[in-house]
Structure 1
Amino acid sequence: MRNLIRLASASAGVCAAMFAAACAHESANEANTMVAGLPRAADRPLERIEGVASHYGVVETSDGARLRTIIALPEGANEPLHPLLFTQWVSCGSIEYREGSGAREALAKLARESGLALIRVERSSDGDSQGPACDELDYDTEVAHYVEAFDALLKDERIDASKVYMQGSSLGSTTAPLVAHALQKKGYDIAGIAIQGGGAETYYERMLSFDRIYLERRPDAVAPEDIHHEIVARAKFHYEYLINDRHPDEIAKDSAAMAGVRADILGMGETDHYGRPFAWHQQAAKKNFLAAWAAVDAPVLVIYNAFDQFEAEYGHKLIADMAERLRPGSATFVVQENVDHNNMRYDNIIEAYTMEGGSPVWEETTDIILNWLETVR
């Protein structure tokens, strides 16, 4: 496996320095090219980040998925670098760099300025990756894929795996400690984890928090005196859904109240929840995130954006408080005022919830991470 990764990613590293069409090999299908062992639509250019060389590769997991990997190094790097492993948000889609996306511009800045090797893995079916459709992928498999892929990539000749750093964004803040704990058990030194947009409360509490914010801040906000009864009903629904693993449609048959909740759960469609299968959320609800954070002996940076449309401050602070109790001096907790989940700044919290207007502050968020990395390296 190690040789396969080296050969595939070395070829892609050359591609990153040239135009993709000039260095990609044609496949049997004229509409596609072959890039570092995986076919790619011919009209999709490889990412080009100023000051960064992006090396494409592929890792085959034990269940047969073939995942696109990208190791992004500062141009001119002539010796192995410590890695920064990235775990991403819930929504499916490629995490290759594309100009104009705040989240991807933040990753580009990290790749360019951190002095680390930014390592990304495209989830199954995202980007060039092959395997089960991302919107059918369950949580356990997603975490397992991260662990297998990162374990393989940490053996790449461009990587100095004596210290491993991680960053989790949004839902990636829940997968980050699980992946870190698994890698730590494999013998890697986890030297620091930075997260923004996700806490360590139980997933059950997390989803209730989503609903409370939704009830309070949406344009047709529920009357304050009715929120109590709404939350009690949603607590019953989520317990059946997340803890007892029942299908939402079956829960809706229990009573008119449960049917009403089913029709109004934030982000829940006919067959998915936030674009992922119900099983994904049910498996996430079985994870002990706080235990994973407690087990990873590493400095932590927790960024909470005060106008977050989904997440509560409590879950974020839980990580920092627990780390500080177990390992005094290891936790850094930062609150960004007037900033939302997507690193946009708004005048007030209601405008933030509707995501109308706002100004991007992803550079500020990234600078917090970069400054923190300087203190823990």
Structure 2
Amino acid sequence: MRTGVGARSPVRRPPMPAMLTLILTLLASIAFAPSALADPLHPDEPTLARRGVLGVQLGYADGDARGVAIAGLIPGGAAERAGVLAGDRITAINDHPTPTHQALSDALRHGAEGQALQLTLWRQGETITRPVTLARRALELPGTTTTYGEVMTHHGYAVRSILTRPDDADGPLPAVFFIQGISCGSMDATTIADRGLLKCIQDVARAGYAVFMVDKPGVGDSAGPPCDEYGFDEEMQAFRAALTTLKSHPDIDPSRVFLVGISMGGIQAPLLAAEQDVAGVVVFGTGFVPWTEYMIANVRRQAALTGANAAQLNLVADAYAKFWSLLLYARLHPSEILDRHPDLAQYGFQPTDSVSAGRSVRFFTELHDSQWANAWSLVETHVLAIHGSYDFVCDRRDHEWIVEVINTLNPGKAEFFSADRMCHGMTVWESERQAIRSGMGTGEPSDAATEAMLAFFERAGGK
């Protein structure tokens, strides 16, 4: 070892702010053939049972071995009725430990409506237990009726469909198909804890549109393999079947069906619109650039908002560039990547098949291979790209590029809308830093994006 004048000191990595460490953990562990039945959305002999839900909004994965933190409760839900509080940690269900989001999801995966469970909670330094009865109720909106049906997929299993229709509408209705983000959460509106998204869905239904959603395979009531195991292509097959089935429904006007792609749904929407005719496409909080480039830009943006300095930003960006390039281009498994580059573990990467948002290696490699950005060049319908000015999950420029591609090929078909002070959770904040620190779905809902959507639908022939 060299010592004295001219000696080379070991390179010291600048310490990461605590909030940045949390964001890195979040990014690494969380971070986008129809049935032959006469009425495939509502078959006479349904095969899907209604599963029960706990009714909680989970906090970020923070690595705390005591259990999964509860960030919020769905009003009137099973957990709230059982006396569970925001801030509690679920440490076990029926004495089975739940140290991670995935363990909790596995414990609840087959829970039926009305099933009794025992929750073990960590609350302010004490371990307590609470009995809870899982429940799920239909969406209740004045002047509308919600029905729960199913769609048979190309793989031979059914996924849950949710259709909300205005009671006073006559004739075939215009419909809006909401395509959710990357996570494995249910789109059943009674379980959506993100207040902004829930209000948007409700307001579109109140405006006279049939609102349609499906749960992904293995999510909510849907049959199929667990969400953390299958790939992007299998998920797309379910959405294709759902869109085809929706357009064949006797109460829906197939010429007035719109897609609304949220986050990862905004990547999947153009792939659907390139294959099937739709009246228009709305994307919100989505991406356009290749996934590796997106992840590098995303972690830079979020790290800067949580207090990282320029040196730290470079280290984080380099780590993300290395991991995602090796995963998507060299096709190395995370375990192989961590064997070669063990230093990446400090940025939240794990040697498991679950890469980000609880999704698998297969999901991201198939996403990468889908070339979704090129699908926009095949979309000939009307397009609205919405970006919240405080959206710390995606970039305004990606949305502008989508509009640019459409208008280059079909002038005047696409438009861009910026929702002031709105974050990725469709809620408004005083600053982007406040949004990322507080939790994007917990603020006051923004009406700006919904109003822009409804005006767009009308211009595109929805009404």
* TM score, norm. by length of structure 1: 0.83
Question: Structure 1 residues 119, 231: CA separation in 2 closer, same or farther (over 3 Å shift)?
Answer: same
Cα deviation, residue 229, structure 1: 4.5
Tell me which residue corresponds to 2:357.
274
Tell me which residue corresponds to 2:264.
171
Mark the runs of 5 or more structure 1 residues left unpaired by the alignment: 13-30, 34-40, 184-188
Picking from 338, 349, 368, the partner of 2:432 is 349
Picking from 208, 215, 221, the partner of 1:128 is 221
Tell me which residue corresponds to 1:206.
294
Give SS of 1:5's match: coil
1:150 paired with 2:243, answer: yes
Q: What's the CA shift string for 1:321-351, capped at 9, x where partnerless?
A: 1112111111111112322111222222222
Question: Structure 1 residues 278, 161: CA separation in 2 closer, same or farther (over 3 Å shift)?
Answer: same
User: Where in structure 2 are the equivalents of 1:56-205 lying within 5 Å?
Assistant: 56-98=148-190, 101-113=195-207, 115-183=208-276, 189-205=277-293
Question: Structure 1 residues 253, 300: CA separation in 2 closer, same or farther (over 3 Å shift)?
Answer: same
Identity of aligned residues (%): 26
Give SS of 2:417's match: strand
Cα deviation, residue 4, structure 1: 4.6
Aligned partners of 1:356, 1:129: CA distance in 2, in Å? 28
Question: Structure 1 residues 2, 204: CA separation in 2 closer, same or farther (over 3 Å shift)?
Answer: same
Picking from 407, 431, 434, the partner of 1:324 is 407
CA contact (8 A) 2:286 2:394 kept: yes
In terms of Rg, which structure is larger? Answer: 2
Picking from 47, 51, 64, the partner of 2:139 is 47
1:370 paired with 2:454, answer: yes
1:303 paired with 2:386, answer: yes
CA contact (8 A) 1:2 1:156 kept: no
CA contact (8 A) 1:199 1:314 kept: no
The residue type equivalent to 1:236 in the other structure is K
Tell me which residue corresponds to 1:28.
none
Aligned partners of 2:261, 2:159: CA distance in 1, in Å? 19
Q: What's the CA shift string for 1:158-214, capped at 9, x where partnerless?
A: 11112331101111111111122222xxxxx32210111102211221111222123
The residue type equivalent to 2:298 in the other structure is F
How many equivalent residue pairs?
342
CA contact (8 A) 1:307 1:337 kept: yes
Q: What's the CA shift string for 1:217-236, capped at 9, x where partnerless?
A: 22xx3321343344234322
Aligned partners of 2:41, 2:453: CA distance in 1, in Å? 32
Aligned partners of 1:207, 1:238: CA distance in 2, in Å? 8
Question: Structure 1 residues 259, 307: CA separation in 2 closer, same or farther (over 3 Å shift)?
Answer: farther
The residue type equivalent to 2:223 in the other structure is Q
User: Where in structure 2 are the equivalents of 1:280-295 lying within 5 Å?
Assistant: 280-295=363-378
* TM score, norm. by length of structure 2: 0.68
User: Where in structure 2 are the equivalents of 1:237-256 lying within 5 Å?
Assistant: 237-254=323-340
Aligned partners of 1:206, 1:212: CA distance in 2, in Å? 10
The residue type equivalent to 1:94 in the other structure is S
More helix by share: 1
Question: Structure 1 residues 42, 214: CA separation in 2 closer, same or farther (over 3 Å shift)?
Answer: closer
Question: Structure 1 residues 44, 359: CA separation in 2 closer, same or farther (over 3 Å shift)?
Answer: closer
Q: CA RMSD in A?
A: 2.7
